[in-house]
Amino acid sequence: MRPAKEVKHLLINLYNREFGGDPDALEVWDSPDHTYMVMRKEDGWMMRIGVGDLDSFLSDDKKERETGKKSIIKAFYSFKEPIDDQS
């Protein structure tokens, strides 16, 4: 997996190009299940981006890169409400 800091910059740039907004709008960290967790700070909503989607987005192949970009943008549209940690 790529370092979360590197991924954060990539995802923030993509998010801002597609949706506008503050460069500090997202928090990103890597998860043990080989995904990246992304939290939108304004509302605390979260989503996951798989390593495969990110690898596709960073591919040298233009078609694969576009497929990865579309998958990540689709994930941005599907932010989910925060998980309630209360037991």
Please state the three-class secondary structure of the chain as a single string.
CCCHHHHHHHHHHHHHHHHCCCCCCEEEEEECCCEEEEEECCCCEEEEEEHHHHHHHCCCCHHHHHHHHHHHHHHHHCCECCCCCCC
Q: Is the pTM higher than 0.85?
A: no
Tell me the pLDDT band of 85, cut-offs 50, 70 and 90: very low
Task: Give the pLDDT confidence of 46-59 residue by residue, as tens digits.
Answer: 888 988 999 999 99
Residue with the larger pLDDT of the pair 85 and 73: 73
The confidence score (pLDDT) of residue 56 equals 94
Domain boundaries, the chain: 4-77
Tell me the pLDDT band of 69, cut-offs 50, 70 and 90: very high
